[in-house]
Amino acid sequence: MEVQARAPGKIILSGEHAVVHGSTAVAASINLYTYVTLRFSTPSDNQDSLKLELKDEGLDFSWSTSKLKELFPESTEPQSPKPPSFSVESAKSIESLIEGLNIPEAKISIASGVSAFLWLYTSIHGFKPATVSFTSELPMGSGLGSSASFCVALAAALLACTDFVSLDLKQQGWQSFQERQLDLVNKWAFEGEKIIHGKPSGIDNSVSAYGNIISFKSGNMTHMKANMSLKMLITNTKVGRNTKALVAGVSERTLRHPEAMAFVFNAVDSISKELALILQSRASDDVLSVTEKEEKIEELMEMNQGLLQSMGVSHVTIETVLRTTLKYKLASKLTGAGGGGCVLTLLPTCILFILLQWSV
């Protein structure tokens, strides 16, 4: 039996980092996906191992089921649908498995993804021999939530093959999970994100699991209904960085300057709340035109970017993109963890109109 699952990446419109410290953030899913294919071995395969294929990286890993049994003696098929906590023993076992892989230095950042894979797989399916393959349309480590989409897609494929999520696996084509099943996928994916990110807020896995646009605060998600469409240009600076290290850096700054950072996080909270209000306001009760709304959003993006700078997560390449877009009077902000990665630029309706005029 083969199961394929996919989960989208995301952009954070406002509130990254501050959301880890309890502020509101707004995020939307994007149509770039991570895909996973899961195939349990049959007796005729004669395969007594768990195989992981990371197609984009050209990396294949394999672990014998006897080795997994020895290292994860407590792993059996879960009795409860809820994820267990990541134990110190599991962390040590995974570390020893990763050390044995000899991952090339240039690709060492993949190790945290492989760790999350090993934990999710063994916690849900124990030592069952299988082959699991991944491909992704998302650039890794660029702020578009590849880590969360990796965890959500994997959790979805693994749970689809359990009694906790009863999908009709004989049916061909894509099937959508129900809200209750998504809740479960999201909980497991969050545990995977913890292994990759250290201290995630949960916004990335939530928007990847449920899609559309959400606001998020202190672990609670609100589905939003945006009543205006926004066109965002995404520029990838191609400067690699690691979310875990950037999140830890902001936490250290917060420890050094708790009062000042509390003001920064409060300001971000207000920005995200105002953005959510603008996006959700209905045409019938609007006093503002689309252009006026866009101008407000541009200002909020600029303020959010300034606050991200004060958290220490901008980068010279991000500043270059900001300066370049500003020449055309366009507002930009980093998205995701920053330190490189991607920048968002709002393309207002008037600009789109000018571009259309040019192209005819």
Ligand X SMILES: C[C@@](O)(CCOP(=O)(O)O)CC(=O)O
Ligand Y SMILES: Nc1ncnc2c1ncn2[C@@H]1O[C@H](COP(=O)(O)OP(=O)(O)O)[C@@H](O)[C@H]1O
- Site residues (CB under 6 A) for ligand X? 16-17, 19-20, 143-145, 147, 197, 200-201, 203-204, 243, 247, 336-337
| Greatest CA separation for the chain | 68
Cα–Cα distance, 83 to 87 (Å, whole number)? 12
Of all helices (H) and strands (E), which one includes residue 273? Answer: helix 258-280
Cα–Cα distance, 346 to 197 (Å, whole number)? 28
Closest CA to 321 of 229, 242, 250, 233: 233
Quick one: 125 exposed, middle or buried, by C-beta within 10 A (0-12, 13-18, 19+)? buried
Residue 83 as a binder of ligand Y (CB under 6 A): the answer is no
Quick one: 32 exposed, middle or buried, by C-beta within 10 A (0-12, 13-18, 19+)? middle
Cα–Cα distance, 197 to 222 (Å, whole number)? 22
Q: Which does 19 bind (CB under 5 to 8 A by kind): Mg ion, ligand X, ligand Y, none?
A: ligand X
Binding span for ligand Y by CB under 6 A among 78-86, 143-151, 213-221, 282-290: 143-151
159-198 residues near ligand Y, rule: CB under 6 A: 196-197
Which one-letter DSSP state was computed for residue 176? P
Task: Let me know if 204 is a catalytic residue.
Answer: yes
Contact with ligand Y (CB under 6 A) among 72, 150, 177, 190: 150
Residue 110 as a binder of ligand Y (CB under 6 A): the answer is yes
The residue from 56, 204, 269, 285 that is catalytic is: 204
Q: Which does 150 bind (CB under 5 to 8 A by kind): Mg ion, ligand X, ligand Y, none?
A: ligand Y
33-62 residues near ligand Y, rule: CB under 6 A: 34, 54
Residue 248 as a binder of ligand Y (CB under 6 A): the answer is no
- DSSP letters spanning 39-70: EE--GGG---EEEEEETTTTEEEEEEHHHHHH
- Shortest Cβ 340–ligand X spacing (Å): 10
Contact with Mg ion (CB under 5 A) among 93, 142, 243, 345: 243
- Shortest Cβ 89–ligand X spacing (Å): 26
Binding span for Mg ion by CB under 5 A among 66-74, 228-236, 238-246, 344-352: 238-246
Binding span for Mg ion by CB under 5 A among 8-16, 115-123, 229-237, 242-250: 242-250
Residues recognised as catalytic: 204
